[in-house]
Chain A
Amino acid sequence: MRDPRTVLRRALLLAPTGLTLFVFMVIPMGLMGWMSVLEPDTYGGVRWHALSLDAYVQFWYERDLDDSLILNTAYMEIFLRSFLLAGFATLATLVLGFPTALYIALQDERTRQRLILLISIPFWTNLLVRTYAWMLLLRNGGLIDSGLGALGLGSGALDVLYTPTAVAIGFVYSFLPFMVLPIYTSLEKMDWRLVEAAFDLGANRWTALRRVVLPMALPGIAAGCLLVFIPALGSYYIPELLGGGKSLMIGNLIQNQFGTARNWPFGAALSFTLLALVLLAMIVYTRRFRQAPGE
């Protein structure tokens, strides 16, 4: 039943996509994977052909003077902190973003478009610039600090900048649109007559929200969570700027390995581990939400 011409036509149609994926995904990935199992060169880079699993061992263990391995939790702490911060960012943007998306979806057509425009305005400036702005806001003696002081609420030292709290604030600020937009999209498509049906059957507003709106918005919520969690997990300059350059998160750690630490294989191994974790999350997502309700 498979006509060779159909097969050929299909192959040709898929070729551009396949080529792009190969050049920009498979080759760099392969390079990364290969690098992660090589030995580091003294001044950065790697010794090609010198195979070693040291990079992966290094994540868990430290080599003592006598060459014995002792458990090292420092890197694990960074991973854990990254997951906690990214998880917090996801939860906080969800708690703020869902009501926002719902509110927008309930407005009339024109108001909706205006509000969506407002949500997307921050994208018009570079995230780096906006992160610097947050530094000015959060630093001791900055706008928030002196504002609180003027109100008699602060003692003059806010001490928020260069802490995980500042990173969390930066995350919630910069990732909120990525939560609002997909949820809004799923709510916008929603058939509001279903909510009327729920009311008709005796559900009050809260029950209708929980039993009808929320399940229908689930694909949007899941997409929003992925869009916040994954970039937050791997984010680099928000923790770099607001977290004060300490190796707070995986992104900083990786940058450090390719930079000052001059341990490319370790950086590659870290990247690979992060990738594996993200991929796992993606697989869980597609398994669970492949089929939107009602289809």
Chain B
Amino acid sequence: MNGHAYSIEIDQVSKRFGHGSEATLALDTVSLNIRTNEFFTLLGPSGCGKTTLLRMIAGFEEPTSGDIRLDGVSLTGRLPFQRPVNTVFQSYALFPHLTVEENVAFGLEMLGRDRAAVREAVTRMLALVKLSDYARRRPHQLSGGQQQRVALARALAPHPKVLLLDESLSALDLKLRKDMQVELKRLQRETGITFVFVTHDQEEALTMSDRIAVMGGGKLQQVGSPEEIYDRPVNRFVADFIGETSFLTAEARGSALEFGAAGRLAEGALGTTAQGPVALAARPERLRLSEDGGLTGVVSEVVYRGADTLYLVTLADGQNCRVRHTNRLGARERAVTGDRVRIAAEPGAFQLLTGEAGHA
């Protein structure tokens, strides 16, 4: 079955909970293709349907409409225990009455492996998650981070085709979380398993993923590599959810952008050739305070943040804009509150947002 380019195909899937007036549309016609051995991340705010999508892949919920395929074969009607898909649950869901090693052995025993093979695999999995010394403990005798690693080892042990991870790192402290991120990436490379990872932490998503699907309000907003998602957000939702963004409106004329009373930016500040009123997004680090800048405004606030400083500027036409500068040792601040400044932009700094009218 490995002739398929895609491990998981999600085809026009919708999910509705409840009936009548109480009905919630948790997912609204989502289509996605996830490649084999990809580290694929579902990113979005709370309640956007990430867990629901994972549960449908695992088989705990059936789509209201649409189809989910694994290696080209429809999963419809296949019960959770008939799917070669394992989950690291948001709540870990470790079996409290079993020891760590019995937990890890569970999936292997279900596959009917003999004792020796199970023991060998459990030893290997526990070494992998660095819990060899804890094999005989019960879950409640472990820290949150250790429990999470047991859950990971338990889900990985039967070597599923797809591993689903639901906010699996969210309970960990920053240090452990960074370690686990590296660990997960290594496991994904070494095992050849497809990882579908759910998070609402954008930084985690950007650092770990091969590709990211940004979800919002039950809909798929954008799918792409971390660079595409960060540098070329397609709409306001994605631009707003990931990173810092200034939202501006302007008039595109030729290759220039006109901001009314604030001035104009010549030559290629906008990546595309759209004309007329446009809605724009710009990352603060793609703009700079500069004597030769085309836009004018007044600094309304200066925020020092260690590695960099953020300048909030009210443009002459009343719009707000953020500019970020990396801090150098010994360098003075570029402006203080109340200063009149000029702003320049890198080529392509402004991203055109689709699906919105140009003027607010």
Please report A residues at the B interface, Cβ cutoff 8 Å.
191, 193-194, 196-204, 207, 211-212, 215-216, 293-295
A196-B80, A207-B110, A295-B140 are known contacts. Are A201 and B93 too (CB-CB below 8 A)?
no
Q: How far is the CB of B172 from chain A (nearest CB, A)?
A: 20
Give Cα A216 to B97, complex, Å: 7
Q: CB < 8 Å: which of B81, B89, B97, B155 contacts A204?
A: B81
Inter-subunit contact A199/B80 (CB<8 Å): yes
Whether A199 and B97, one on each chain, are in contact in the complex, defined by CB atoms closer than 8 angstroms, is: no
With A191-B93, A207-B110, A293-B96 known as contacts, the answer to whether A200 contacts B140 (CB < 8 A) is no
List the A side residues contacting B81 at CB < 8 Å: 199-204
- Can you list 30 contacts pairing A with B, beta carbon distance less than 8 Å? A191-B93, A193-B91, A194-B93, A194-B95, A194-B96, A196-B80, A197-B89, A197-B94, A197-B95, A198-B106, A199-B59, A199-B60, A199-B79, A200-B81, A200-B86, A200-B155, A201-B81, A201-B107, A202-B81, A202-B110, A202-B158, A203-B81, A203-B110, A204-B81, A207-B110, A212-B95, A216-B97, A294-B96, A294-B97, A294-B140
* Residue numbers in B under 8 Å from A212 (CB-CB): 95
Pair A200/B96 contact, Cβ less than 8 Å: no
What CA separation (Å) do A204 and B94 show in the bound complex?
Answer: 17
Report the bound CA distance from A120 to B277 in whole Å: 72
Inter-chain pairs besides A200-B81, A293-B96, 16 sampled, C-beta below 8 Å = A193-B91, A194-B93, A197-B93, A197-B94, A198-B95, A198-B106, A199-B60, A199-B79, A199-B80, A200-B80, A200-B89, A202-B158, A203-B81, A216-B97, A293-B97, A294-B96
Q: B154 at the A/B interface (Cβ < 8 Å)? A: yes
Give the most central of B80, B85, B94: most A CB within 10 Å. B80
Q: Is B87 an interface residue (CB 8 A)?
A: yes
Instruction: Report Cα–Cα, A225/B87, bound state, in Å.
Output: 37
Residues on B with C-beta less than 8 A from A202 are 81, 107, 110-111, 158
Q: Which residues of A contact B295 (CB under 8 A)?
A: none
Closest Cβ of chain A to B119, distance in Å, is: 17
**Chain B nearest CB: distance from A220 CB in Å?**
13
Please report the C-alpha to C-alpha distance between residue A225 and residue B230 in the assembled complex, in whole angstroms.
Answer: 62
Smallest Cβ-Cβ distance to A199: which chain B residue: B80
> Distance in Å from the Cβ of A252 to the closest Cβ of chain B?
42
Give the CA-CA distance A208 to B245 in the complex, in Å. Answer: 49
B residues in contact with A211, CB < 8 Å: 106
In the complex, how many residues of chain B place their beta carbon closer than 8 angstroms to a beta carbon of chain A?
24
A255-B80 Cα distance, complex, nearest whole Å = 58
- Name the residue of chain A whose CB is nearest to the CB of B55: A196
Contact A201 B158 (CB under 8 A): yes
How many residue pairs bridge A and B at CB < 8 Å?
60
Q: Which residues of the other chain, A, contact B94 by a CB distance below 8 angstroms? A: 197
Mark B67-93 against chain A: 1 for CB-CB distance below 8 A, else 0: 000000000000111000111010101
Q: B125 → chain A, closest Cβ, in Å? A: 13
Asked if B58 CB lies within 8 Å of chain A CBs, one says: yes
Q: Is the CB of B60 within 8 A of A196?
A: yes
Q: Is B97 a contact of A200 with CB atoms below 8 Å?
A: no
Closest CB in chain B relative to A205 CB, distance in Å: 8
B residues in contact with A293, CB < 8 Å: 96-97
State in angstroms the CA–CA spacing of A13 and B107 once bound together. 51
Contact between B79 and A201, CB atoms less than 8 A apart: no
CB distance from A225 to the nearest CB of B (A): 19
Are A196 and B93 in contact, with the CB atoms below 8 A? yes
Q: Of A191, A194, A196, A201, which is in contact with the most chain B CB atoms at under 10 Å from its CB? A: A201
Which residue among B85, B95, B111 has the maximum number of chain A CB atoms within 10 Å of its CB?
Answer: B95
Q: Which residues in B have their C-beta under 8 angstroms from that of A198?
A: 95, 106
Please report which residues of chain B, range 85-136, place their CB below 8 angstroms from some CB of chain A when the two chains form the complex: 85-87, 89, 91, 93-97, 106-107, 110-111
Tell me the B24-67 residues at the A interface (CB within 8 Å).
58-60
Instruction: Decide: A201 and B86 in contact? CB cutoff 8 A.
Output: yes
CA separation between A212 and B106, bound complex, in Å? Answer: 11
- The 3 A-B pairs with the shortest beta carbon distances in the complex, nearest first, are A294-B96, A202-B110, A201-B107
Name the residue of chain B whose CB is nearest to the CB of A201.
Answer: B107
Contact partner of B89 (CB less than 8 A), chosen from A193, A207, A294, is A193
In the complex, A201→B80 CA distance in Å?
Answer: 8
A39–B38 Cα distance when bound, in Å, is 88
A194 to chain B, nearest CB (A): 6
Contacts of A196 in B (CB 8 A): 60, 80, 89, 93
Whole-angstrom distance between the Cβ of A247 and the nearest chain B Cβ: 44
Contact B89 A201 (CB under 8 A): no
- On chain A, the residues within 8 Å of B87 by CB distance are 197, 200
Would you give the shortest CB distance from B198 to chain A, in whole angstroms?
Answer: 15
Smallest beta-carbon distance A140→chain B, Å: 50
| Given A199-B81, A201-B158, A202-B107, CB of A215 within 8 Å of CB of B86 | no
Task: Decide if B96 touches A201 in the complex (CB within 8 Å).
Answer: no
Residues of A close to B95: CB separation below 8 A? 194, 197-198, 212
Q: Which residue of B lies closest to A204 (CB)?
A: B81
Indicate with 1 or 0, residue by residue over B144-178, a CB within 8 angstroms of chain A CB atoms: 00000000001100100000000000000000000
| Least distance between B236 CB and chain A CB atoms (Å) | 36
Interface centre among A199, A204, A215 (most CB of B within 10 A): A199
Cα distance, A203 to B94, chains bound together (Å): 14
User: Which residue on A lies nearest to B84, using beta carbons?
Assistant: A202
Residues of chain A lying within 8 A (CB to CB) of residue B58: 200
Q: How far is the CB of A1 from chain B (nearest CB, A)?
A: 29
A199: min CB distance to chain B, Å = 4
B140 and A201 contact, CB distance less than 8 A = no
- The distance from the CB of B121 to the nearest CB of chain A, in whole angstroms, is 13
Task: Please name the residue on chain A nearest to B112 by beta carbon.
Answer: A202
Find out whether the CB atom of B97 lies under 8 angstroms from the CB atom of A215: yes
Q: A193-B91, A294-B140 known; A201 and B97 CB under 8 Å?
A: no
